Structure 1
Amino acid sequence: MSRFSSPLMVGILLSAHQLTSHAAGFALSEQSGSGMGNAYAGAAAVAEDASTIYFNPAGMTYIQGSQLVGALHTIKTSGDFHNQGSSVAGNEGGDFGSWAFLPNIYYKQDLTEQLKFGIGVGTPFGLKTEYDRNWLGRFQAVKSELKTININPSLAWKVNEQWSLGFGISAMWAEAELTSSANLGLLGTTTVKNKGDDWGFGYNLGAIYQATPDTRFGVAYRSKVEQHLKGDVRSPFTQANGVPGSTLNTDISADLTLPETFSFSAFSHLNDKWELLTDITWTRWSQFKELKIVRENGSNTTVGPAITEHWNNVLRYSVGLNYLYSDTVKLRTGLAYDDEAIDNEHRTARIPGNDRIWLSLGASWQYTPQTKLDIGYTHLFIKDARINDDQRPTRGLIAGKYEGSADILSLQFAYNF
């Protein structure tokens, strides 16, 4: 790994702002179309459809027969940087937001009256952002993209009328890609692209307690997933340009820990028309302490000091209401407050996210006994983020303010058979 690219790999692996990541850090909450309308309040207790496989597998005991659920989340993000004293010449980067389309699919079936099986596929972490190539922070970031796919087979066991338990295994593929400019002194600048991928494995646990016929509580835990990414660094510069090809073009590896989460949810039928949902979710982003990037071209050593991270554990709070308009139509709303994992003093050009508020609306339509359609919409109000990053003097001072917002539209189809 060259000195030009090791901080860049850190950026793609350990950061993601709010452009497609809508929970703290670079987590994605968009795992259910029905939950979107409630800002995912009560997600570990509501057990409304097979998307409970992700939020709490114990909820499968509340779903009758076999069910197939598919959802698509359309995300439009906007973000602007306003320069306030940066030391590098260039523009402000333009709108570094983007469009994104995130799918989920879930299948659940009964094995016995008490034992249920399900499998879910989704994207629990991700980002995609791109600044103008000539922006003033081009030596820190131009394009960032992180993709994940999580395959999550699960089992649920109905212990008795009060208790249900669930367990699942996660097989998660992650791919990271980053481009940035590198300053080669008298030789000018070049573009450096870092890319790597890996499979990692984890598990999730859940329990639901039916306290009364109208009220239940859910707890859910998702374990950390260790990723050992392997890939390469590539640049147009070669030996012919006077720079050894092995300096800029080499295989690399890096370890990445995707954090564990713990959720406590409640769901209650208040009366014949109203339902109340609440949730608190804790995420252990402090897993990020340092990252070493290793070059694989024979030296097998880390170039430069390990980069120390300053991520904090965070909480997400949400509350939602459902109004049963008729036997076939349910109206939803929700509000959530989501802490950011990065303090102001440690923000970099790759991590301009900040605390955000979710305002959500949605509706369900049970248009046949076997089929249900859900639609959900959320607007994210994101707090302005200040940056004054001079941690890497060779890349220049980045000083200013970020402004951003996001809109999410979700559609979900559920079929019972």
Structure 2
Amino acid sequence: MTPKYLTLIIAAALSAVSVSATASGYRFGSQSVSSQGTAEANGAEANDASTVFANPAGMARLDGKQIMGGVTAVVPHSTFNDEGSTRFTRTSTGGLTSQDDYVPKAVAAPSLYYTQKLNDQWTAGFGMFVPYGTNLSYDWNWSGRYALTNIKLTSINLNPSIAFKPNEHHSFGLGLNAEFMKASLGQGVDVPGSVAAAQAAGTSGAILRQIVAAGGNPAALASVRDGHASVEGKDWGYGINLGYMYMPTESTRFGIAYRSSIKHELRGGAIWDFSKVTTDAKVNAVLQAASHHVNSAALVELRTPETVSVNGFHQFDDKWAGMFDVTLTKNSRMQNIDIQFLGTESGDEVIRQQWKNTVRVALGANYKMNEKVLLRAGIAHDDAPIESEALRHAALPDADRLQLSFGANWKVTPNSSVDLAYSYLDFKNARGSYTNQCRPGLLTCTGNGETTRGTWATHLQLVGLSYNYKF
């Protein structure tokens, strides 16, 4: 594949991916349509090329050359109701107290897998899928705007893999991961609260004198409005994944798979917009200077969590098969998100997370209706990594969720088939009372000092379609 076409594929994938995360944390929950049909319980089934993601050791079971291309459409619905959000002055933030359109109406995420049997012992493969994603866009005048107005995370993972089968009972797999991640975040800047606090404390005289000296009109402060900050960055990171599969009989398989943590240094820029704070540009310039915020380079360092999955598959008879998957995610890798403003006197902006490790449990079944149609179903429970209401930030109002899935595989010809899948995910209501531990005007840190109180309610649907071909 030429670099030109590879770049076009990555660009197309990233442009399609902008979705509230469907699995725990920011992890996107469906990397395979066939897997989605069993609520991702089929890690040990290893029946198509998507085993590149689930367990690379499973490639050893596949004959010839196989390709699988799919897309998953996500249809989310979320609401937020405010329960007393406040500024750093502990007065109300004002603004809209409810939100019901801050997630996309529908978005789609692609996946592509290929495997090729090299000889009786070796099989090679390649995967391209979406590991993480979120896209929230609140109204700029909602009650929690000082915590967040918008966030978008897009990613793509390129995963070349190899499998080795020393005998009929054991196989091993290794994959390399090149992961591209791009993120942007915006939030309001509490200029009205800063002006009001200075006036109440009797310390606004210096700012008034600066406004007059600059030729501005102090009366403009009577109708001061919010500023806005935006940060973006991108990076490539690298990791590995490993797999092992034990096959005591042709009907029974057990697998264990590991995906490593990947370190990212998202580099980009920060923009502070004070142009609409008042109608007087000179007043706006003075207020921005007093805030100590300047446009600059920005850096966010993070490490994605590693995962370990244990799964099993058993074919009971020529009609029925059952399967399970238990996945541990080390979300404790994601403690805090520190946004650094390079080359400035401003301290970091810290989004506290302090996540806990989580466990996802899934059960699934296949039913062979006839020689052309295989039906699938699955149920899963996934923990949220958030420790408490005080650590639930508007960027990820996550909660424990239950997933119910149905799917089918239709064999179109002896060499080709189509997979369909539908999932419904119901999230527990998520109450938050997150307080930013900085406040405007400080140099040691950056933040609005706001408290965002309210409850998020979310459910979403996934519809997947993929095409498989065997050469």
Mapped to 2, the partners of 1:19 and 1:258 lie a distance apart of 18
Which runs of structure 2 are paired with 1:1-400 in the superposition (5 Å)? 20-43=20-43, 45-87=44-86, 88-91=93-96, 92-98=98-104, 99-184=106-191, 185-186=194-195, 188-237=225-274, 241-242=284-285, 243-244=288-289, 247-297=293-343, 299=344, 303-304=347-348, 308-345=352-389, 346-392=391-437, 394-400=448-454
How many corresponding residue pairs? Answer: 397
RMSD: 1.9
Which structure dedicates a bigger proportion of its chain to helix? Answer: 2
Alpha carbons of 1:327 and 1:228: their partners in 2 closer, same or farther (altered >3 Å)? same
Alpha carbons of 1:344 and 1:308: their partners in 2 closer, same or farther (altered >3 Å)? closer
Mapped to 2, the partners of 1:207 and 1:400 lie a distance apart of 45
Contact 1:378 1:409 in 2 (8 A): yes
Q: Deviation of residue 19 (structure 1)?
A: 5.5
| Higher deviation after alignment, 83-92 or 55-64 | 83-92
Mapped to 1, the partners of 2:322 and 2:351 lie a distance apart of 44
Alignment match, 2:458: 404
Q: Which runs of 5+ in 1 are unaligned?
A: 1-17
Q: Deviation of residue 96 (structure 1)?
A: 1.9
Q: Which one-letter code corresponds to 2:76 in the other structure?
A: T
Alpha carbons of 1:402 and 1:305: their partners in 2 closer, same or farther (altered >3 Å)? closer
**TM-score, normalization by structure 1:** 0.91
Greater C-alpha Rg: 2
CA deviation digits over 1:292-350, x for unaligned, max 9?
332222x5x77058555320000000000110000111001000000000023321222
| Higher deviation after alignment, 301-310 or 250-259 | 301-310
Q: Deviation of residue 395 (structure 1)?
A: 4.2
Contact 2:52 2:125 in 1 (8 A): yes
Q: Which one-letter code corresponds to 2:69 in the other structure?
A: G
Q: Deviation of residue 400 (structure 1)?
A: 2.0
Q: Deviation of residue 247 (structure 1)?
A: 2.4
Mapped to 1, the partners of 2:21 and 2:349 lie a distance apart of 28
Mapped to 1, the partners of 2:120 and 2:169 lie a distance apart of 15
Mapped to 1, the partners of 2:186 and 2:418 lie a distance apart of 40
Aligned-pair identity (%): 34
Q: Which runs of 5+ in 2 are unaligned?
A: 1-17, 87-92, 196-223, 276-280, 440-447
SS of corresponding position for 2:412: coil
**TM-score, normalization by structure 2:** 0.81
Mapped to 2, the partners of 1:323 and 1:107 lie a distance apart of 26
Q: Deviation of residue 219 (structure 1)?
A: 0.4
Contact 2:155 2:181 in 1 (8 A): yes
Contact 1:334 1:359 in 2 (8 A): yes
Which structure dedicates a bigger proportion of its chain to strand? Answer: 1
Mapped to 1, the partners of 2:226 and 2:107 lie a distance apart of 31
Mapped to 1, the partners of 2:41 and 2:348 lie a distance apart of 44
Q: Which one-letter code corresponds to 2:273 in the other structure?
A: P
CA deviation digits over 1:116-169, x for unaligned, max 9?
111111110110111112110011111110001100000001110000100000
